Amino acid sequence: MNRRNFIRISTLGAGGAMFGSIGFGSGREPSLIDRLTGNVHPEESKYIRTPTYCEICFWKCAGWVYKNDQGEIWKIIGNENDPHCNGRLCPRGTGGVGMYYDQDRLKTPLIRTGRKGKQEFKRASWDEALDFVAKKLDFIGKKYGPETVALITHGSGGKLLTTLMKAYGSDSIAGPSYAQCKGPREVAFGLTFGTGLESPEPTDIRDTRCLVLIGSHLGENMHNTQVQEMADAIDRGATIITVDPRYSTVASKSKFWLPIKPATDIALLLAWTNVIVSNGWYDKDYVEKYTTGFDKLKEYIRPFTPEWAYGITTLDPNMIRDTAKEMANASPAVIIHPGRHVTWYGDDTQRSRAIAILNALLGSWGRRGGFYLPELKEIPEYPHPPFPPVNKSWRDILGGQYPFAELPLANAIVDGSIPGNLKDFQYRGWIVNGSNLNMTMPDTRKTLEAIQQLELLVVIDTMPMEITGWADVILPECTYLERYDVLRNDHNREPVIALRMPATEPKYDTRPDWWIVKELASKMGLGRYFDWKSFEGFLDYKLKRMGSSLEEMKKIGVKKYERTSGDLYFSADNPPVFDTPSGKIELYSSQLEQAGFDPFPRFTPHEEPPEGFYRLNYGRTQSHTFSRTSNNPNLSAIMPENLVWVNPKVAANWQLKEGQEVWLKNQDGSTTSFPAKVRITERIRWDSVYIVHGFGHTNPLLTRAYGKGVSDAALITKILIDPVMGATGMRGNFVTFLTENPDKEVKA
Amino acid sequence: MRFAMAIDTRKCVGCSDCVVACQTENAVPIGYCRDWIVEVNDGTYPQLVMEIRSERCNHCSNSPCVRCCPTGASHYDYGGIVLVTPHKCIGCGACIASCPYDARYPHPKGYVDKCTFCVHRVKEGLPPACVAVCPTKCLYFGDTDDPRSEISLVLKKRKYKRLIPEAGTNPNLYFLI
């Protein structure tokens, strides 16, 4: 009995609630209730629908927004023709309506009146707010140079803001999606195969026979089509191998679950490589034709036997051999999944390299059931004058550090805003769009230290967030359901574009991103970079040059194009091209070697939790996208707070009870602002705890999310920087439990 | 005609999309739900098993809720779907107490509400909203009286269980295992 947990989530209505006293006689409105009880039969076609693509996460699934018979936004349904979703949105996309209906939304432009961090603002007109920003940018540009202003962005507004920044004279344009998320794997796959993975990753799960997930909790992260294809793979009887110290959802669906000791993944990857090489299980023809450095690898990998790895990973050597055999049997229809959030221990590029090498040995790159060759539709530029030269580019500002960074690093912008961190340079202003840096960036205290040094912080968002509380000016963007945006064009099996158009007028005094950028540009004297009369005209200009039109896209939402780059996989007609110095897959990386890094991945032991502390492991849940959805009424109803997962043995040691509230304190004494409830579960190892990222909001303007759960960003104060490309490894932090509130001033 | 649903527990990841889609499709008030996710764990680390189920009204062929309803608000409808007629419901709660699956909730407007298998969609030839949205396609809906229907075929092919069969309600949700 005590070994059985029974968790029923979303049972909010059953049992507890009292009957309402409202009758349903004469006064009731018939339409909605009758419709939902089947008394009236809606015809899907009679409802107005408008195309969109989702803004709740980076997968950007295309869908249709339906309105009900009162003309209100009713529901969002996936677009059947979209390869990002195949007509099926995930819970967040389905719950996207909540983003529109959230009554806590930012409603007017605001200019700060009190000191930074105090929620003291005055309402401003758009004219006033944009004037303020334009004047301040002009001042900073003249005094320090435009290159001292950075843009940190996440989401579709970023593209036009990027144009504005380049026109202004800065190229410090960063997304935390790079150095806090997928950067290391992009660099590692680039070094190995000559191309990164980008988004959506070209994993051919649809046709795979073996899917290997290393710390990637597909199914808890709802990377939509990957989850869909994984479910199909389960139906087809494909093997899933999951490596995770936590019994993740997908671990429960896997033929093999390897409950690895945290921070030892490279040892496992080397052992797998050892088994595959020493048994000759690699794809000999592929390795010979397409790779360089195999002989060196063979020599290098010799000591890393499963027995060697056992002492490090605690994984049974036979299990390591069996799983290697399983992969080899499936080769080339095997995917060692590169993961997405891979910034863990500071040697993440090397770990991703080990994954890339294993894929290369099994011949899965460019092969059916491995990695397909994606294609992107080129979207024509709307003509604009050339950008001015940048006085000091982000790379110059880095001064030779992190030589393999391909994109600006959000963490380097934070660091570079604190005086004394960089020689001769300091960032003076940030424009932040759709990115709640207080919770997105590790080490909230450092983020706040940087913010306090800024002469200008402009935040463009739909919701009050922690960062909006620190802004000098808040520009309230309308939600994606109320606006046009740039066309979506991510690469896929076939080139595809999608349109987002407003389903309804913007609520409150909010504006679309394109409007904000165009107005701001004209106030900055940069209107010539946005020389279109209407945004519809801007879109139509592009679409007409792509064999479509805005008129057509409004009807279909999604348009697919024929491939022009040849087959989806390597073939005689489609010989592989590797954009590496050798023109081959580089098992041995001479580029890394020349820059003074290990040419082959090396296992380095990482710090272990001190006595009484547990490794902080964090991850995703299906119903939320980081901190951006925590206040969404539909989604917070599904999951209102995060819980601290604790192994029963640990709970017994600490005498913790299920549901008990605890505060967490890390190795540096940093504590959470709020408590989280304990979830006692066998699904977590005894040496770690687990929380879902994105909770613990401290902005009281978020009426549903304020004080619910804990933020991992406050606990990640030890940042393990990847020397290769500068990403922030965040899994080297350890926490302990406090049963009393460590800060009496904070009311939970 | 006998409408039923099969839920593939091997594919369900418990994402709650069925819950959210039901909520928007049927304007279920925030804080209530007609369907939900159950996660059952067993074992000791690392010897573990987990089952995830998307649950809702079982639309029982022998429904205690229909039997105990004093006004006839709870009734069998199209294809055996169990429905509540809101304007006949007096909110006495007898059905809530009688349901072994805890599938009903008191709607704030004063009547008892629950899953309708989206009968308004089914009559239009559309699957229930939860089935249409499910990213893992783990939900099968159809007519078990039709041997050629997808659900009949999947029930023929796969092992399944029904919940609380001992209650004798003859439920029409099948959990594929």
A4–B136 CB contact, under 8 Å: no
B41–A232 CB contact, under 8 Å: no
Beta bridge partners of A53: A62
What is the model's pTM?
0.94
B37–A8 CB contact, under 8 Å: yes
Q: Which residue of A has its CA nearest to B123?
A: A41
Residue among A733, A742, A724 at smallest CA distance from A184 = A724
- Confidence band for A717, pLDDT divided at 50, 70 and 90: very high
Which of A23, A247, A634 is the closest to B23 by Cβ?
A634
Q: Answer yes or no: is pLDDT of A420 > 90.
A: yes
Taking residues A604-618, report their average pLDDT.
Answer: 97
A79 and chain B in contact, CB less than 8 A:
no
Matching residue, tokens 């023109």: A583
A1 and chain B in contact, CB less than 8 A:
no
A475 in a domain, yes or no? no
Beta bridge partners of B49: B42
Per DSSP, the three-state class of A80 is: coil
Residues in B 71-110 with any Cβ partner in A closer than 8 A: 77-78, 83-87, 91, 93, 102-110
A24–B85 CB contact, under 8 Å: no
Q: Which residue of B has its CA nearest to A63?
A: B133
Q: What local confidence, expressed as pLDDT, does residue A745 receive?
A: 52
CATH number, domain of A324, equals 3.40.228.10
Average pLDDT taken over every residue of chain A: 93
Q: Answer yes or no: is pLDDT of A231 > 90.
A: yes
Q: What local confidence, expressed as pLDDT, does residue A118 receive?
A: 85
Average pLDDT taken over every residue of chain B: 96
Element (H or E) spanning A8, and its range?
Answer: strand A5-9
Determine which of A6, A18, A19 to mutate to test the interface with B (most B C-beta atoms within 10 Å): A19
Q: What local confidence, expressed as pLDDT, does residue A70 receive?
A: 87
Residues of B in contact with A22 (CB under 8 A): 108-110
A320 in a domain, yes or no? yes
A149 in a domain, yes or no? no
Which of A7, A41, A220 is the closest to B120 by Cβ?
A41
Q: What local confidence, expressed as pLDDT, does residue A607 receive?
A: 97
3-state secondary structure A304-327: CCHHHHHHHHCCCHHHHHHHHHHH
Among A6-15, B35-44, B86-95, the minimum mean pLDDT is found in A6-15
- The first and second tokens of residue A363, run together, are 């011949």
| A225 CA: distance to closest CA in chain B (Å) | 8
Residues in A 411-470 with any Cβ partner in B closer than 8 A: none
Q: What local confidence, expressed as pLDDT, does residue A12 receive?
A: 39
Taking residues A543-563, report their average pLDDT.
Answer: 97
A5–B40 CB contact, under 8 Å: yes
Instruction: With a threshold of 0.85, tell me whether the complex ipTM lies above it.
Output: yes
Q: What local confidence, expressed as pLDDT, does residue A19 receive?
A: 33
Which of B13, B41, B42 is the closest to A227 by Cβ?
B13
Amino acid at A419: P
Q: What local confidence, expressed as pLDDT, does residue A573 receive?
A: 86
Q: What local confidence, expressed as pLDDT, does residue A17 receive?
A: 33
Q: What local confidence, expressed as pLDDT, does residue A119 receive?
A: 86
A205 and chain B in contact, CB less than 8 A:
no
Among A22-36, A263-277, A643-657, the minimum mean pLDDT is found in A22-36
Which residues, 6 or more positions from A687, have their beta carbon under 8 angstroms from its beta carbon? A245, A261, A262, A609, A614, A615
Q: Answer yes or no: is pLDDT of A7 > 90.
A: no
- Confidence band for A46, pLDDT divided at 50, 70 and 90: low
Percent of chain A residues past pLDDT 70, beyond the cut? 93
CB A96 within 8 A of CB A81: no
Of A33 and A269, the one with more pLDDT: A269
Q: Answer yes or no: is pLDDT of A8 > 80.
A: no
A91–B11 CB contact, under 8 Å: no
Residues of A in contact with B11 (CB under 8 A): 231, 234-235, 253
Residues of B in contact with A35 (CB under 8 A): 120
Residues of A in contact with B77 (CB under 8 A): 38
Distances (CA, A) of A47 to A50, A89, A440: 10, 19, 39
Per DSSP, the three-state class of A210 is: strand
Of A744 and A451, the one with more pLDDT: A451
Encode pLDDT of A136-154 as tens digits.
Answer: 999 999 999 999 999 999 9
Q: Answer yes or no: is pLDDT of A515 > 70.
A: yes
Which of A90, A253, A647 is the closest to B17 by Cβ?
A90
**Peptide bond preceding A464: is omega within 30 degrees of 0, i.e. cis?**
no
Q: Which residue of B has its CA nearest to A252?
A: B50
Encode pLDDT of B110-162 as tens digits.
Answer: 999 999 999 999 999 999 999 999 999 999 999 999 999 999 999 999 999 99
Q: Answer yes or no: is pLDDT of A248 > 70.
A: yes
Q: What local confidence, expressed as pLDDT, does residue A40 receive?
A: 39
Percent of chain A residues past pLDDT 90, beyond the cut? 90
Taking residues A500-511, report their average pLDDT.
Answer: 97
A682–B108 CB contact, under 8 Å: no
**Peptide bond preceding A723: is omega within 30 degrees of 0, i.e. cis?**
no
Residues in B 21-40 with any Cβ partner in A closer than 8 A: 21, 23-27, 30-33, 35-40
| B177 CA: distance to closest CA in chain A (Å) | 12
C-alpha B172/C-alpha B80 separation (Å) is 10
Taking residues A225-254, report their average pLDDT.
Answer: 97
CATH class of B3-176: alpha beta
C-alpha A258/C-alpha A321 separation (Å) is 12
| Number of domains present in the structure of chain A | 2
- Confidence band for A45, pLDDT divided at 50, 70 and 90: low
Domain-ending residue, one of A313, A347, A373: A373
Angle between helices A513-523 and A535-544 (to 10 degrees): 110
A249–B110 CB contact, under 8 Å: no
Q: What local confidence, expressed as pLDDT, does residue A547 receive?
A: 96
- Confidence band for A5, pLDDT divided at 50, 70 and 90: very low
Q: Answer yes or no: is pLDDT of A39 > 70.
A: no
- Confidence band for A3, pLDDT divided at 50, 70 and 90: very low
CB A427 within 8 A of CB A394: no
Q: Answer yes or no: is pLDDT of A583 > 60.
A: yes
Beta bridge partners of A474: A110, A459
Amino acid at B125: G
CB B67 within 8 A of CB B95: no
Q: What local confidence, expressed as pLDDT, does residue A58 receive?
A: 94
A90 and chain B in contact, CB less than 8 A:
yes
- Confidence band for A258, pLDDT divided at 50, 70 and 90: very high
Q: What local confidence, expressed as pLDDT, does residue A4 receive?
A: 37
C-alpha B91/C-alpha A383 separation (Å) is 65
CATH number, domain of A667, equals 2.40.40.20
CB A672 within 8 A of CB A710: yes
Q: Answer yes or no: is pLDDT of B75 > 90.
A: yes
Residues of A in contact with B27 (CB under 8 A): 32, 36, 74
B20 and chain A in contact, CB less than 8 A:
yes
Residues of A in contact with B126 (CB under 8 A): 44
Element (H or E) spanning A408, and its range?
Answer: none
Could you tell me how many CB contacts below 8 A there are between chain A and chain B? 226
A682–B17 CB contact, under 8 Å: no
Per DSSP, the three-state class of A298 is: helix
DSSP state for residue A179 in the 8-state scheme: I
- Confidence band for A421, pLDDT divided at 50, 70 and 90: very high
Which of B43, B105, B133 is the closest to A88 by Cβ?
B133
Taking residues A245-256, report their average pLDDT.
Answer: 97
DSSP state for residue A3 in the 8-state scheme: T
Taking residues A95-114, report their average pLDDT.
Answer: 97
Among A1-10, A94-103, B32-41, the minimum mean pLDDT is found in A1-10
Q: Note down the domain range covering A708.
A: 614-738
Would you list the domain boundaries of chain B? 3-176
Q: Answer yes or no: is pLDDT of A43 > 80.
A: no
